[in-house]
Copies of this chain bind each other. A is one copy, B any other.
């Protein structure tokens, strides 16, 4: 038996997230079905990041075990031939049989994209959140700096989390503007449930003037979800990179 790791990219628009659900198609479900067909054995993947419904990925990680003799490097191509075009394996390689993608130390990079203009732009609508409320990027940059470092992110975590600790380390965060597109890029060892989307929703509150940049420190201190801004919509979020350390 060998364990194979896949780098998986997907457009989350038409999926009910990563994790298998009874009520709709999921990334995990499609991978299990296509892998089981390809290998002619029952395959069940283990995902690194179980992204929410509508969230996209340029690089998420899945591992699975197989007894087949297909060379691991060839799995990407063979699997892509069976997958729908909104899911594409970027790489496949053998890993040690005890490798578990959620139990290894890793760094993730997420991007949250906001299209900020009077009217929405059709060719941006699927991979960004649109708001016509003018956002001040300099204020958002100033606010974002408060996230860097190790903090208790309880205020930036969905109340229905099952995490034992809500302390997390944000290694870097960058807010940049290119035309009408504002991109928040954040990297860290781990993120709580909805953490990036709540950070994005709160930075937008700063950008529109409802909160001050320094309020981020106060919100972190409050350790109360209701102190932070709303959870920004899923379509703006993309998992960019997943690095094992």
Contact = CB atoms under 8 A, between A and B. Distances in A.
Interface of A: 9-11, 56, 58, 76, 80, 85-90, 118-123, 125-127, 238
A8 to B, nearest CB: 10
Contact of A9 (B80, B122, B127): B122
- The residue in A11, A76, A123, A126 that gathers the most chain B C-beta atoms within 10 A of its C-beta is A123
Nearest to A120: B88
Contact of A121 (B9, B76, B119, B126): B9
A189 B76 CA distance: 45
B119 A127 contact: no
Contacts of A86: 122, 125
A123 B127 contact: yes
A120 B85 contact: yes
Given A125-B11, A125-B86, A126-B126, A119 B238 contact: no
A186 to B, nearest CB: 18
Contacts of A90: 118-119, 121
Contacts of A9: 119, 121-123
A125 B58 contact: no
A76 B119 contact: yes
B11 A123 contact: yes
A11 B123 CA distance: 5
Contacts of A87: 122
